[in-house]
Structure 1
Amino acid sequence: MKTQFKKATLIKRYKRFLGDVILEDGTETTLHVANTGAMTGCAEPGDTIWYSTSDNPKRKYPYSWELTQSQYTDHFICVNTIKANQLAEQAILDGTISELQDYETITREVKYGHENSKIDLLLTGGGNNDVYVEVKSVTLLERNNGYFPDTITTRGQKHLRELIAMAATGKRAVLLFAVLHTGINNFAAAAHIDKDYADLLHEAMTQGVEVLVYKAAISPSNIQLAQKINFP
């Protein structure tokens, strides 16, 4: 995924969806943050951030925070969680995710399940069993390990229950963790943050839910899922 990002220096992130930055010309401004998580280690004052610009005149904040470049490690982190689904779809189409090939159609945001959910990607056709793919963005790095989630997630628990239910009907149910942090080379469920999620993930795997972990190559000019990480 080719990008055209510009850089700024982070002052602070606040109110979940806002961040104050200093642009390269010295101007201070506010940008939008498409991330509901804690963003632990991804939003330290003084970090270099990379942003995109929208030409939508209805937007209050035309700038969107896309990447963080850590001032301590120089790692790149994609903090825009919307990108995870786009990167997953791209990686399926270009053949990177070998486990999800030979399907004719990819449909986004399909309603399904018993808890008012939408599956991120539904793969159909090609004479294969339908695949329900839930995508999660991984950006938390602690003790040389990547973790999900970075905060307690009742929504994530709901998605696991929905995947378990789909697997029980004979459909393929896949949980795809998109690692969007260049410093993460290993992955585990964050039982120390959300034990209920970690326990439910283990149950999901025993009930037939497939778990895939793919890491992105990230730079200010290009982002793409490129490398499989074994799990567990």
Structure 2
Amino acid sequence: MKYDRVIQGTFIDRPNRFIALVEIADPVTGQRAVSRCHVKNTGRCLELLVPGAKVVLSISDDPKRKTGYDLIAVYKGDLLINMDSQAPNAVVKESFEKIVGKCDNVVPEYRYGDSRFDFYAERNGEKVFAEVKGVTLESDGLALFPDAPTERGLKHIRELTGLAGSGYRCWVIFLIQMSGVRGFSPNYAMQPELGRACEEAVAAGVNVVAYDCTVAEDSLWLGDEVPVILHS
């Protein structure tokens, strides 16, 4: 996926989960001023959005918006991390058959019973359900999810475990919004229940996989599959 126009800025503060204050240089005069930007990730991102961090903004021309920019990525040292929470589903949609295999059709945002799954597809007569989780947390080269407890994420994994037990093909796809990691693991320290849910999912036949990404300031593409490290 690609962004039309991007610029760099310097992160100052995050007064609430939707808004960041970012210092931006005028492209003509070079004069710097602080602008309010929409944050395209409502997670904590405490290890990423630190004062002075170099961030990447997507420019919006929508006159109805209250902010003219979306904060989409941040540099953690030399490592560029995309933190747009809508990007993982877009990347997986573009590369769904590379991950899951050739499918008859792929339907995003599919309702089944009382649940809604990121993707539904059919493959060789089988029903396929998939959930995508974006990963922005990295520690010592290991990607971790989540960066804060998520009841929604836990619910999705448990639902897929139940469906797998009923004979459906199910996938949990952790899309790591950075490159160069050595592997992925559930964040047992943050939410041990989610780690155990992943272990139970694998035991039930759910395909729990992780892929890194090729990240540029104006784009995000599916990279390589990386090892999933579980405690069990």
Query: When the two structures are superposed, what TM-score results if normalisation uses the length of structure 2?
Result: 0.90
Q: Which amino acid aligns with 1:16?
A: R
For 1:9 and 1:103, locate their aligned partners in 2 and report how far apart those are by CA, in whole Å: 43
- 1:111-148 alpha-carbon deviations (Å, 9 max, x no partner): 124xx431111122x53412111000111112331111
Instruction: Report the identity percentage.
Output: 29
Structure 2 partner of 1:36: 42
State the secondary structure of the residue aligned to 1:167.
helix
Structure 2 partner of 1:19: 20
The answer to whether the 8 Å contact 1:11/1:46 transfers is yes
State the secondary structure of the residue aligned to 2:201.
helix
For 1:65 and 1:117, locate their aligned partners in 2 and report how far apart those are by CA, in whole Å: 30
Structure 1 partner of 2:206: 209
Structure 2 partner of 1:67: 73
For 1:101 and 1:183, locate their aligned partners in 2 and report how far apart those are by CA, in whole Å: 24
Counterpart of 1:82 (choices 86, 103, 108) is 86
Deviation of residue 183 (structure 1)? 4.7
Structure 2 partner of 1:52: 58
For 1:228 and 1:145, locate their aligned partners in 2 and report how far apart those are by CA, in whole Å: 13
For 2:133 and 2:40, locate their aligned partners in 1 and report how far apart those are by CA, in whole Å: 14
For 2:146 and 2:184, locate their aligned partners in 1 and report how far apart those are by CA, in whole Å: 11
For 1:117 and 1:42, locate their aligned partners in 2 and report how far apart those are by CA, in whole Å: 32
Structure 1: runs of 5+ lacking an equivalent: none
For 1:198 and 1:127, locate their aligned partners in 2 and report how far apart those are by CA, in whole Å: 31
Q: Which amino acid aligns with 2:11?
A: L
State the secondary structure of the residue aligned to 1:21.
strand
The answer to whether the 8 Å contact 1:40/1:140 transfers is no
Structure 2 partner of 1:160: 157
The answer to whether the 8 Å contact 2:182/2:227 transfers is no
Task: Quickly say closer, same or farther: Cα 1:184–1:14, change in 2 above 3 A.
Answer: farther
Deviation of residue 14 (structure 1)? 3.1
The answer to whether the 8 Å contact 1:103/1:128 transfers is no
For 1:164 and 1:74, locate their aligned partners in 2 and report how far apart those are by CA, in whole Å: 38
Deviation of residue 40 (structure 1)? 3.3
- 1:205-232 alpha-carbon deviations (Å, 9 max, x no partner): 1111111111001011321011110223
For 1:61 and 1:152, locate their aligned partners in 2 and report how far apart those are by CA, in whole Å: 29
Task: Quickly say closer, same or farther: Cα 1:151–1:213, change in 2 above 3 A.
Answer: same
Q: Greater share of strand residues, 1 or 2? A: 2
Task: Report the aligned-residue RMSD.
Answer: 1.6
Deviation of residue 21 (structure 1)? 0.2
